[in-house]
Chain A
């Protein structure tokens, strides 16, 4: 920037603006919740970049090196950092492969259960009367059935019907996990529909559909975002549970829950690392999703947001 004259002024101006922009992004970054993000990192990094990170072929067994210990223990080596599983596949590669199914199931499971729950919740709360009664009795029915039992039935039935891959798990999660959304959204809708702006929309001539979409829906987004984040952990747990019980992901593909199921007997017979690392990943992922949900709830609420800023400043 030695050319001088007007040009320098301009570039200096834009440089300053650039610096301000960087500073602002920096400030925004410091407000992000680091612990939840770190907890969720394995799921997302492994799930998205999976095949790029493979150390070995996740499906090639090698019985000669079955149940090799992790690298830092006697008998381990760094070619297999976390050791190998019961048929000699690299454990880390298996964990990376399993993350993808878990991620897909969690995201689509939460998406579909959320959409179903929001739709039925708004409909019940807004329409009231018979519609409300009908939907809420369905909710009660669903709440009376143990969740894991319901998922088992749905996933097993869909598998029998010949639907393969992750679809049965996603459908099972969507059908059994929409209930809390519906209840929450219905409650919020009941209070929103009493608000004056809904009356104004009616007076202006809006249809019920328009009021639900334009005036009620934005009001429930906040609580939905928070719930969905927390439910992400729930969905991973559900997938793990289903895989563990044999109706989830099918071998030779894998998922974290399935890895525990296949190897739980080794936990006492010496090869503890096979189920343990999968269990640790499930635990920190669920923990991260719960923590992120808590953080989002505070961050999205204007009252606590102010308080948070003040605490940060002091």
Chain B
């Protein structure tokens, strides 16, 4: 996966804070990553570690007025999206960067037919009325909705959860975006449907050479469908690298703990590994490395200063003082 292409999207030191009555919540606190064209990046981490907020920041869809991008750059094909006025953001939304939302059961408007809703994204592109129907049918077929022609006039409540999620996917890919963000697309589906949906997503991604950011807390999903992975903890990326390297040889203690916590077949009687303690409150982060209160290998230095990004085996980096020592 050593694609020489320059990145399609590169996020540099992004900070998104929420200004609430309880104080400033640093939901995303200095995140940097990049995605190359056609590449799949997994963004993994616990609930509340800032994965979704990172994605919403890219499309500038933060809840206003509390959420704000404080600093950093989001370069999409060389254009900094952070500095774009809201009125121009529509040039990217749906057309260049698209997103599959978390809850497919709620994401479709109950008052419009399926055909109508899929047509909307084409209408935004001013597609001629004549070819509209055919385009809608084609895109719904491409997400494997059975007997599409009969279903164009049905309403979302007549669809199953999996079918609704595929309809959402159809809307997201209808204009062949260069980057597709899938924000925990399978959390509300059951396991077999999850599997089908992820396979479909991969197929679509490869067919249209889209870049994919897959947000999830399911490491199995990442291993199965991504090229690279970034592990987030408390609003920062603690480790990144190719899926192969990170899963084979995790460097950061947090990543290692996560890998240990994955249940495996044939380990029936053992208690699952758990990371002790709780994730830190993003409104009140510990000094130094955010993970040190829960880290078994924490050193004195970890409590004082946030670690720099240290390259690991020429493949990504880990933000951990232990490697700083080894290399020094």
Which A residues form the contact surface with B (CB < 8 A)? 128-129, 195-197, 199-207, 210, 214-215, 218-219
User: What total of A-B pairs shows CB separation below 8 Å?
Assistant: 63
Tell me the smallest distance from the CB of B14 to a CB of chain A, in Å: 19
Answer yes or no: B325 CB below 8 A from chain A CBs. no
Are B64 and A204 in contact (CB-based, < 8 A)? no
Tell me the smallest distance from the CB of A190 to a CB of chain B, in Å: 13
Answer yes or no: B121 CB below 8 A from chain A CBs. yes
- Interface residue ranges of B108-148 to A (CB < 8 Å): 108-112, 120-121, 124
A214 to B116: give the CA distance in the assembly, Å: 11
Answer yes or no: B43 CB below 8 A from chain A CBs. no
Q: Which B-chain residue is minimally distant from A194 (CB atoms)?
A: B63
Tell me the smallest distance from the CB of B183 to a CB of chain A, in Å: 10
Q: Does more than half of chain A's interface fall in helix, strand or loop, or is it mixed?
A: helix
Are B65 and A196 in contact (CB-based, < 8 A)? no
Answer yes or no: B275 CB below 8 A from chain A CBs. no
23 contacts between A and B (CB under 8 A): A128-B64, A128-B65, A129-B64, A129-B65, A196-B101, A196-B103, A197-B108, A197-B109, A199-B101, A199-B107, A200-B168, A201-B109, A202-B93, A203-B99, A204-B94, A204-B124, A205-B90, A205-B92, A205-B94, A205-B95, A207-B90, A218-B111, A218-B112
Answer yes or no: B59 CB below 8 A from chain A CBs. yes
Instruction: Using A195-B106, A196-B107, A215-B109 as known contacts, say yes or no to A204 and B120 having CB atoms under 8 A apart.
Output: yes
Q: Which B-chain residue is minimally distant from A129 (CB atoms)?
A: B65
Answer yes or no: B31 CB below 8 A from chain A CBs. no
Tell me the smallest distance from the CB of A129 to a CB of chain B, in Å: 6
What are the residues of chain A within 8 A of B65 when measuring CB–CB?
128-129
Are A199 and B111 in contact (CB-based, < 8 A)? no
What are the residues of chain A within 8 A of B302 when measuring CB–CB?
none
Are A199 and B61 in contact (CB-based, < 8 A)? yes
Tell me the smallest distance from the CB of B109 to a CB of chain A, in Å: 4
Are A200 and B107 in contact (CB-based, < 8 A)? yes
Tell me the smallest distance from the CB of A72 to a CB of chain B, in Å: 54
Answer yes or no: B16 CB below 8 A from chain A CBs. no
Tell me the smallest distance from the CB of A313 to a CB of chain B, in Å: 24
Partner pick for B111 among A129, A207, A219, CB 8 A cutoff: A219
Partner pick for B120 among A195, A199, A202, A206, CB 8 A cutoff: A206
- Beyond the given A204-B98, A206-B124, A218-B111, could you list 20 further A-B residue pairs with CB under 8 A, ordered by the A residue number? A128-B64, A197-B109, A197-B110, A200-B101, A200-B109, A200-B168, A201-B120, A202-B93, A203-B59, A203-B61, A203-B94, A203-B98, A203-B99, A205-B90, A205-B93, A205-B94, A205-B95, A207-B90, A218-B109, A218-B112
Partner pick for A202 among B61, B102, B108, B112, CB 8 A cutoff: B61
Q: Which A-chain residue is minimally distant from B90 (CB atoms)?
A: A205
Q: Which B-chain residue is minimally distant from A203 (CB atoms)?
A: B99
Q: Which B-chain residue is minimally distant from A200 (CB atoms)?
A: B107
Tell me the smallest distance from the CB of A126 to a CB of chain B, in Å: 12
A204 to B65: give the CA distance in the assembly, Å: 21
A210 to B90: give the CA distance in the assembly, Å: 12
